[in-house]
């Protein structure tokens, strides 16, 4: 975009004057009756507004505050969902299902989904044991099938949105003994960029406290309105037999915890590597199994007896159940660490019709009241944190852009007040952008924030054109009020022309036409809304601010504003200093 603006500037300064000198030799100034009436009406309303400065500014401030509060109350999103013309339907198969039954079920699913008129083609794949096979190719997967995925391509001229088609698919498959998950290709890609739903990381060193806290947090998320499919991160747990040694009982029997551990470890060792054999250049380990390999059950471990030698030198057997408490629990299949601390991740998806930032705010409020075990803590991650981080970075870019815009205008106007007045067009543009998002029902997203940043550099042009012409008229000796009224009428046409061309250029993008058009639609909506609203109010607010800041008719440049000479003391004549 920067290179395009630079190229257009070069063309405007070189090619346009050259062509105008040749093509506009016989130019005649025409009078536009209707526009003249419109300009005359504007001049009267502007004169009235100049007499009602406080009322005008109060209305603008109320509109800015009201629109921003209403928009933020609806929540924010990372990137808008968009229709890419592709859908996926995935479902888990029942356990111990035969291959023929799995194929028949897939045929039934495909037959029902094919009845939707917006669908063009369907492809099905079945997975098993980490392998995928196409349905109907005759290549069966190794092992029993576990899941099936359908890839759906939609027609280009669909009359319904993908969300409506998703709901139709779910309804057609509701009576089958499966739990299908329907999603779009763009939705999956965006979740990889910014996370998905609400995610809470639980940190702690004690595994029992960690698991209990994760379970409690999952229970809290279940109560938050707008969440679904809550997971405590422990779905893939493995069974565990835990031996809690009673030290006092073990000492009475002449055993230590280390001795008990060694005995249990030896009892559980049912196989050993005895040697290795080399055959055709390859080494093979020879494993010897003990005769008790088939007896390694929890009951066998509980009844296991340890040979103990007493102080008198006698041998006796001590049953493990007499000195240890045996518990059947579950353990984590994998332990994640961050900063040398263990953590579990509790996740929850967002139900349809709910905003992730609002749901995350409710979840955070409820978790703040929870009492956690000592040594455990939690931290929110996921999509909402991605939104906050991205908004923070874009906010810094916005502030830097505003500073650069102001400094450039200071150098142009040679004044501190005139650029400050022009900057008041930016809040007007923000108000228009917020109102456009509210009217169209779009959430405030990262794309919309980028639109606001882009709008800052566009909308100040109208204020520059107006303020610069007012200053020119005042330098010619025209009184301030008359200069403001005359500049407003004279500069109305170029301001309207530049704004309308920008608005018309963004209108196609604002309508979201084409595949993936919904992604960039908030940017165009913010720009169009900001241009329309700011263009209308710039013609009134900028003159009001100019009249309020410049109370005198004399134009003062930046040197006069930074340093005003003291008129109370007479000037002293300069005297030459004698050389040393």
If you write DSSP's letter for every residue of 461-501 in order, what string do you get? HHHHHHHHHHHHHHHTT--HHHHHHHHHHHSHHHHHHHHHH
User: If you average pLDDT over residues 241-245, what whole number do you get?
Assistant: 76
What span, in angstroms and rounded, lies between the C-alpha atoms of 344 and 334?
10
Of all residues in the chain, the percent with pLDDT exceeding 70 is: 81
Digit-coded pLDDT (tens) for 479-499: 889 999 999 999 988 899 989
- What is residue 578's predicted lDDT score, i.e. its pLDDT? 40
Summarize the confidence of residues 280-291 as an average pLDDT: 68
What CATH class has 198-237+334-387?
alpha beta
Please give the Cα distance from 331 to 340 (Å, whole number). Answer: 19
Helix or strand (DSSP H, E) at 131: strand 131-134
pLDDT of residue 323: 79
What class, spelled out in words, does domain 239-331 have in CATH? alpha beta
Average pLDDT, the chain: 80
Q: How far apart are CA 185 and CA 84, in angstroms?
A: 7
Mean pLDDT over 31-45 rounds to 81
**By mean pLDDT, which of 257-261, 307-311, 329-333, 451-455 is the weakest?**
329-333
Q: What is the arithmetic mean of pLDDT over 337-365? A: 84
Report the pLDDT averaged over residues 46-54: 91
Q: Is the alpha carbon torsion for 334, 365, 438, 461 positive or negative? A: negative
In the beta sheet, which residues pair with residue 478?
none
Residues 103-130: pLDDT tens digits?
A: 888 888 888 888 888 888 888 887 765 4
- Pick from 75-79, 353-357, 466-470, 508-512 the range whose average pLDDT is largest: 466-470
Q: By mean pLDDT, which of 13-27, 37-51, 269-283, 427-441 is the weakest? A: 269-283
pLDDT value of residue 569: 47
Q: Are 357 and 387 in contact (CB under 8 A)?
A: yes
Q: What is the mean pLDDT of residues 409-415?
A: 88
Q: What mean pLDDT comes out for the span 429-456?
A: 92
439 vs 343: which has the higher pLDDT: 439
pLDDT digits 0-9 by tens, 208-238: 788 888 888 888 888 888 888 888 877 666 6
Residue 575 has pLDDT above 50, yes or no: no
Q: d(Cα 466, Cα 545) in Å, to the nearest integer?
A: 12
Residue in 457, 439, 459, 435 with CA at minimum distance from that of residue 541: 459
DSSP secondary structure letters along 211-262: HHHHHHHHHHHHHSTTEEEEE-S-TT-EEEEEEEE-HHHHHHTT--HHHHHH
* pLDDT 10s digits, 517-555: 778 889 999 999 999 999 999 999 999 999 998 876 555
Instruction: Decide which of 557 and 97 is more confident.
Output: 97
CATH topology of domain 36-73+414-557: Multidrug efflux transporter AcrB transmembrane fold (1.20.1640)
- Domain spanning 86-194: CATH 3.30.70.1320: yes
Domains 86-194 and 198-237+334-387 share a fold: yes
How would you class 3 by CB atoms within 10 Å of its CB: exposed for 0-12, middle for 13-18, buried for 19 or more?
Answer: exposed
Where exactly are the structural domains of the chain? 36-73+414-557, 86-194, 198-237+334-387, 239-331
Given a cut of 80, whether residue 511 has pLDDT beyond it is: yes
Q: Tokens at residue 46, please?
A: 């502007």
Q: CB atoms < 10 A from the CB of 561, how many?
A: 13
Count CB-CB contacts under 10 A for residue 512. Answer: 20
**Stretch 36-59: mean pLDDT:** 89
Residue 140 has pLDDT above 50, yes or no: no
**530 vs 157: CA distance, rounded Å:** 32
Ramachandran sector of residue 439 (left: φ over 0; alpha: ψ -120 to 50; beta: rest): alpha
* Range picked from 72-76, 144-148, 325-329 for highest mean pLDDT: 72-76
Q: Which two tokens stand for residue 499?
A: 């704004």
Q: The tokens 């890419």 sit on which residue?
A: 84
Q: Which residues pair with 422 in a beta bridge?
A: none
Q: What are the tens digits of pLDDT across the range 175-211?
A: 888 888 877 755 444 444 545 688 888 888 887 788 8
Pick the range with the lowest mean pLDDT from 1-15, 163-177, 277-291, 561-575.
561-575
């Amino acid at each position: 975009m920067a290179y395009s603006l630079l190229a257009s500037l070069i063309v405007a300064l070189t090619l346009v004057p050259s062509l105008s000198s040749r093509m506009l030799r016989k130019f005649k100034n025409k009078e536009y009756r209707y526009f003249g009436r419109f300009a005359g009406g504007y001049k009267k309303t502007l004169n009235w507004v100049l007499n009602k400065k406080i009322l005008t500014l109060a209305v603008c401030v109320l509109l800015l505050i009201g629109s921003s509060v209403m928009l933020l109350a609806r929540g924010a999103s990372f990137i808008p969902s968009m229709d890419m013309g592709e859908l996926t339907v995935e479902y888990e198969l029942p356990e111990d299902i035969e291959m023929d039954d799995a194929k028949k079920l897939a045929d039934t699913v495909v037959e029902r989904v094919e009845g939707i008129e917006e669908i063009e083609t369907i492809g099905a794949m079945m997975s098993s044991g980490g392998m995928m096979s196409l349905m109907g190719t005759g290549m069966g997967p190794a092992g029993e099938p576990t899941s099936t995925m359908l890839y759906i391509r939609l027609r280009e001229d669909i009359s319904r949105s993908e969300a409506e088609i998703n709901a139709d698919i779910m309804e057609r498959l509701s009576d089958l003994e499966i739990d299908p998950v329907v999603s779009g290709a763009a939705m999956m890609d965006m979740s990889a960029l910014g996370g998905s739903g609400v995610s809470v990381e639980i940190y702690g060193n004690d595994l029992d406290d960690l698991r209990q806290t994760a379970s409690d947090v999952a229970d809290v998320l279940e109560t938050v309105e707008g969440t679904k499919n809550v997971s405590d991160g422990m779905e893939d747990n493995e069974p565990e037999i835990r031996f809690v040694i009673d030290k006092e009982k073990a000492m009475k029997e002449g055993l230590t915890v280390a001795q008990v551990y060694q005995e249990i470890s030896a009892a559980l060792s049912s196989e050993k590597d005895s040697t290795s054999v080399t055959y055709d250049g390859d080494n093979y380990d020879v494993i010897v199994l003990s005769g008790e390999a088939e007896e390694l059950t929890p009951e066998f471990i509980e009844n296991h007896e340890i040979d103990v030698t007493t102080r008198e030198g006698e041998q006796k057997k001590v049953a493990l159940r007499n000195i240890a408490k045996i518990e059947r629990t579950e353990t984590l299949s994998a332990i994640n660490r961050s900063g040398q601390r263990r953590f579990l991740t509790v996740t929850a998806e967002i139900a349809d019709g709910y905003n992730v930032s609002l749901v995350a705010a409710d979840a955070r409020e409820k978790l703040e009241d929870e009492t956690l075990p000592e040594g455990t803590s939690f931290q929110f991650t996921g999509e909402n944190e991605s939104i906050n981080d991205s908004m923070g970075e874009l906010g810094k870019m916005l502030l830097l852009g505003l500073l650069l815009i102001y400094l450039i205008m200071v150098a142009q106007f040679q004044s501190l007040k005139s650029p400050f007045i022009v900057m008041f067009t930016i809040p007007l543009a923000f108000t228009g952008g917020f109102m456009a998002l509210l009217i169209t029902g779009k959430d405030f997203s990262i794309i919309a924030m980028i639109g606001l940043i882009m709008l800052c550099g566009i909308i100040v042009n109208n204020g520059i054109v107006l303020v610069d012409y007012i200053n020119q008229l005042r330098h010619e000796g025209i009184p301030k009020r008359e200069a403001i009224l005359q500049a407003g009428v004279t500069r109305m046409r170029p301001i309207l022309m530049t704004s309308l061309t920008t608005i018309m250029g963004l209108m196609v993008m604002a309508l979201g036409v084409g595949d993936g058009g919904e992604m960039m639609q908030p940017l165009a909506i913010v720009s169009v809304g900001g241009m329309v609203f700011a263009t209308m109010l710039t013609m009134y607010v900028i003159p009001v601010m100019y009249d309020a800041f410049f109370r005198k008719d004399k134009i003062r440049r930046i040197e006069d504003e930074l340093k005003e000479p003291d008129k109370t003391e007479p000037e002293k004549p300069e005297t030459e200093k004698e050389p040393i």
